[in-house]
Amino acid sequence: MVASGFALVGASLGALYLEPELQTTNRTVALYSSFIPYGLIPWALATLILLASARGIGRLVTLLPLAGLLAQAMVLLPYFNTDYVAPVGTTSTLRVMTLNLHYGQGDTAELLAEVERNRPDVVVLTEFTTQSAAIFDNPRWTKQLPYHQGSTGRASNQRNFGDPSGTQVLSRTPITVLGQTTGTLDTNIAVQIEANGHQLVLIAAHPVNAVRGDLDGWLAEGEILADFAAGFATQPLVLAGDLNAVPEHLTVRNLMSRNGLHESVQGWQPSFPADRLVPLITIDHVLASDQFRTIKVRRFAIANTDHLGSVVELAQS
């Protein structure tokens, strides 16, 4: 019975991957789908339990959960896809940094140290509030990133509650605002920048999550963002931020497939929750169009935010 229970959990997670429309059943299912890659664990446990308890020919029954384990492993293959990895020695043309500031409470002094260490061409900051806005008057910040565009949310005086609506883009080079989404709770903004002689469109994104927006809001904002990105899909495009969805979620898969985008973050690098023992899910993304190849990816941690930041180096053709 225990093995059957584990197998049922693994099978349910596999079904949510194979039939992503099932994720729209209700909010609980949508949130449960965040753990699709972890379906390997219940399949493995079911296999081990049956191996330990079965005898003789009865052990053949372990082939069933073993088959489930192997099938579930296919979910992880996209994390190690090398189709968009740049050859060794390729020169970076764009270095993107992105971080969710957790209602503006992230330590901007520690973030500045990361900026000075990594020297990004462009930085995307979500959940940007008036608590963070002092960076615009800090000469060390303006030396690194003299240009910025976006919105600023209200300050928060509670650790786990505040205004997440603000999204800012900071850049080494001038920024041209191309537009932003309407009908979304938080700012999703498209800008044009130049980095190392290459023009590109950057979308700084933060669609609502399925807790705050409930299922309908989460799905609707995912659709709005996909429609918004479609307006720039014929140009070199990078979309970065907290998408409040893992790569297996319907919203991200739809966003990528409709707009010819791929994940720039390589390997298994969960980003949330960063203020717990270990991050478990990947909801912070840097997506890019076919003109870009990934050179290097690094996550980093700063105090007082529940997300890891990302530094992604890309080469644009």
Pick from 201, 154, 148: nearest CA to 179:
201
- Kindly give the residue spans of alpha helices, DSSP state H, lying in the chain: 2-18, 27-32, 40-53, 63-73, 108-118, 139-144, 214-230, 250-259
How far is the CA of 282 from the CAs of 154, 247, 251, 286, 299, in angstroms?
27, 7, 14, 11, 11
Bridge-based pairing of strands 167-171 and 122-126 is antiparallel
Q: pLDDT, tens digit, for every residue of 63-116?
A: 888 899 999 999 999 999 999 999 999 999 999 999 999 999 999 999 999 999
Q: pLDDT, tens digit, for every residue of 236-246?
A: 999 999 999 99
Tell me: domain 94-316, CATH 3.30.470.20, correct? Answer: no
Q: Are 30 and 210 in contact (CB under 8 A)?
A: yes
Sorted by where each begins, the domain ranges of the chain are: 2-75, 94-316
Q: Which tokens go with 136? A: 């615009």
**Burial class, 157, CB count within 10 angstroms (exposed 0-12 / middle 13-18 / buried 19+):** exposed
Tens-digit pLDDT string for the chain (317 aa): 788 899 999 999 999 999 999 999 999 999 999 999 999 999 999 989 888 887 766 577 778 888 999 999 999 999 999 999 999 999 999 999 999 999 999 999 999 999 999 999 999 999 999 999 999 999 999 999 999 999 999 988 777 788 999 999 999 999 999 999 999 999 999 999 999 999 999 999 999 999 999 999 999 999 999 999 999 999 999 999 999 999 999 999 999 999 999 999 889 999 999 998 899 999 999 999 999 999 999 999 999 999 999 999 999 99
pLDDT at 80: 92
pTM of the model: 0.95
